[in-house]
Amino acid sequence: MSVIPFDDRDGFIWYDGRLVPWRDAKLHVLNHGLHYASCVFEGERVYNGRVFRLEDHNERLLNSARILGFEVPASMDDLAKATEELISSNKIVDGYVRPIAWRGAEQMGVSAQASKIHLALAAWDWPAYFSPEARAKGIRMHWAKWARPAPNTAPTNAKAAGLYMICTLSKHMAEAEGCDDALMLDWRGRLAEGTGANIFLVINDELHTPTPDCFLNGITRQTVIGLARKRGIKVVERAIMPDELAKATEVFLTGSAAEVTPVGEIIGEIGHYRFTPGTICQMMWEDYDGAVGKKKEVIDYGEEPGLVKAIRRQFGRPSYAEMLQSAVKNRYDVTDTPSLSANGMLTVWHGAQKEEIPVAKIESVSFSPAPEGRSKVDMFAFVNADHGGSQYEPRYMGTMDINDRFFLGTEGLMRGIGISISKLYRTAKLAEEPIDGHLDTVREDPRNLDPAKQDDDPTRPVEKSDFRATG
């Protein structure tokens, strides 16, 4: 972020109904908002010259003020016009807007009901809250000393300045420990949020997030929940204890400033946890960037086996039918587009032969090196015995290149047929990684993987016992 002092900049600030030069936007030292925190604010992101979900932010600002016992001297329309005027005057394309309302200096004391209510809006360029490097590998967090208060001890439903005092203390402490942010518990010892962002845990390919009963139900949080459900990802809002982080394969934060930011590590007395940003982090990141109108970014998750890296690095978003069509075209003469019917039947055409597979019977998906070359992989679906054949009959789904659009969109296919993402990782790794450390001499065929022995731990080493005995 910029190191230019915020009180010494060019531009304009919207202050009590008009634009004033940036350096002239001042207030008296005996201001009630400064002394007693009778102040509410918002944090809004500007993308391509427009505030994302401006109406929701403005509505929350007005509601926060009412919770603190005063009315913002502007209507929803007034706030929208002031924001547009401010962004235009400062020529903001991608930035941040800070509306703020507070009690003035007419009265000094705990009670200040006769004080004038002031309103100001400022805007500045702000490309990212966390550095791209930290965001790509996942930020480091430190457990906070301070806890989110109970709703009967503070106005927790308001975005009130005073509630951020413990956030500043917690973030300063985290930074002193070499971390990017702090993770706060609530007064009951449950997971709450970061110092300015909500938290999500990926557990069993579902999103789990703390119930916002003593902290804000963030606007970005609400957006991400909607995006996840649109993808068919189950979202669970519940009480989460700190030790449940051990069950999570991915963790990320959401907020207007933070956007969608993966967490790589959490340290401190409560527990030490490590995470690797994966498919769901990236999906939510990319979907959110798409929703706000940002260009797609490419994330490098570091050195990993080729197939795993290809899966986790970038996911296209073709339709279900497009993905299946791309797979089958590589091996068969497709005479019709593969499709998923309303009654749950997967229809695939092999030349003139039509095959229908009940999606509910697909137990898992496996990849195997294809004869055409190292970058080519065969894809097989293991079908339950009820569909015919052996207990888990492999059904050939096509051959693809690890760099083509279908393979990069494989995660979407897995979700379409309800396959566990961790199982996808396990089977994909088998196609690239040697068994027992022998590079070329020992390589089991993933088509012999026993689906009954697959579990949801993508980090467990693959063993020979995971495969069916072959003659």
- Give 1 or 395, the one with higher predicted confidence: 395
Nearest C-alpha neighbor of 41 from the set 62, 23, 21? 62
Burial 296-321 (b: 16+ CB within 10 A, else e): eeebebeebbbbbbbbbebbbbbebe
Question: Which residue blocks in 184-317 are alpha helix, DSSP H?
Answer: 219-230, 279-292, 306-313
- Give 280 or 340, the one with higher predicted confidence: 280
Q: Which distant-in-sequence residues (6+ apart) come within 8 Å of 216 by Cβ?
A: 156, 157, 159, 198
pTM over 0.75: no
- Give CB contacts under 8 A, 24+ apart, made by 298-304: 299/136, 300/136, 301/136, 301/137, 301/276, 301/277, 302/137
Bridge partners, residue 190, by sequence: none
Mean pLDDT of 439-450: 40
Q: Residue 351 CB: number of other CB atoms within 10 A?
A: 9
In this structure, of 38-52, 180-194, 226-240, 296-310, the range with the lowest mean pLDDT score is: 296-310
Query: For the chain, what percent of residues have pLDDT higher than 70?
Result: 60
Is residue 244 scored above 50 in pLDDT? yes
Give 314's pLDDT tier (boundaries 50, 70, 90): very low
Give the CATH fold of the 132-302 domain. Answer: D-amino Acid Aminotransferase; Chain A, domain 2 (3.20.10)
Alpha carbon separation from 9 to 16, 24, 90, 358, 419 (Å, rounded): 19, 10, 11, 64, 53
pLDDT reported for residue 285: 87
Q: Which distant-in-sequence residues (6+ apart) come within 8 Å of 195 by Cβ?
A: 144, 164, 167, 168, 170, 171, 174, 181, 182, 184
pLDDT reported for residue 452: 59
- The CATH code belonging to domain 12-125 is 3.30.470.10
Is residue 223 scored above 70 in pLDDT? yes
Is residue 5 scored above 80 in pLDDT? yes
Max CA pair span of the chain? 90
Give the highest mean pLDDT range of 121-135, 237-251, 350-364: 237-251
pLDDT reported for residue 277: 85
DSSP assignment of 67-93, as one string? HTT---SS-HHHHHHHHHHHHHHTT-S
159 as an active site residue: the answer is yes
Main-chain dihedrals φ then ψ at residue 74, nearest 5 degrees: -165, 145
Q: Residue 391 CB: number of other CB atoms within 10 A?
A: 13
In this structure, of 42-56, 106-120, 188-202, 328-342, the range with the lowest mean pLDDT score is: 328-342
- Give 180 or 337, the one with higher predicted confidence: 180
pLDDT reported for residue 3: 65
Q: What is the pLDDT of residues 119-137, one digit of tens each?
A: 999 999 987 766 666 666 7
Query: For the chain, what percent of residues have pLDDT higher than 90?
Result: 54
Q: What is the C-alpha separation between 428 and 366, in angstroms, rounded? A: 7
Q: What is the C-alpha separation between 104 and 30, in angstroms, rounded? A: 8
Question: Which residue blocks in 90-152 are alpha helix, DSSP H?
Answer: 132-137
Which tokens belong to 445?
């065929």
pLDDT reported for residue 156: 96
pLDDT reported for residue 350: 54
Nearest C-alpha neighbor of 380 from the set 343, 333, 337, 348? 348
Which tokens belong to 311?
């899966």
In this structure, of 24-38, 43-57, 148-162, 316-330, the range with the lowest mean pLDDT score is: 316-330
Handedness of CA 360, 361, 367, 371 (dihedral sign): negative
- Give 296 or 411, the one with higher predicted confidence: 296
Is residue 280 scored above 70 in pLDDT? yes
Is residue 324 scored above 90 in pLDDT? no
Q: What is the C-alpha separation between 143 and 35, in angstroms, rounded? A: 29
pLDDT reported for residue 131: 66
Is residue 60 scored above 60 in pLDDT? yes
Handedness of CA 456, 460, 464, 465 (dihedral sign): negative
Handedness of CA 169, 172, 178, 179 (dihedral sign): positive
Give 208's pLDDT tier (boundaries 50, 70, 90): very high
Is residue 166 scored above 60 in pLDDT? yes
pLDDT reported for residue 23: 96
pLDDT reported for residue 2: 45
Is residue 436 scored above 60 in pLDDT? no
In this structure, of 17-26, 260-269, 439-448, 462-471, the range with the lowest mean pLDDT score is: 439-448
pLDDT reported for residue 4: 80
Give the highest mean pLDDT range of 252-261, 328-337, 426-435: 252-261
Q: What is the mean pLDDT of the chain?
A: 75
Catalytic residue of the set 81, 91, 137, 159: 159
Per-domain boundaries in the chain: 12-125, 132-302, 307-466
Which tokens belong to 394?
């492999």
Main-chain dihedrals φ then ψ at residue 402, nearest 5 degrees: -65, -15
pLDDT reported for residue 443: 38
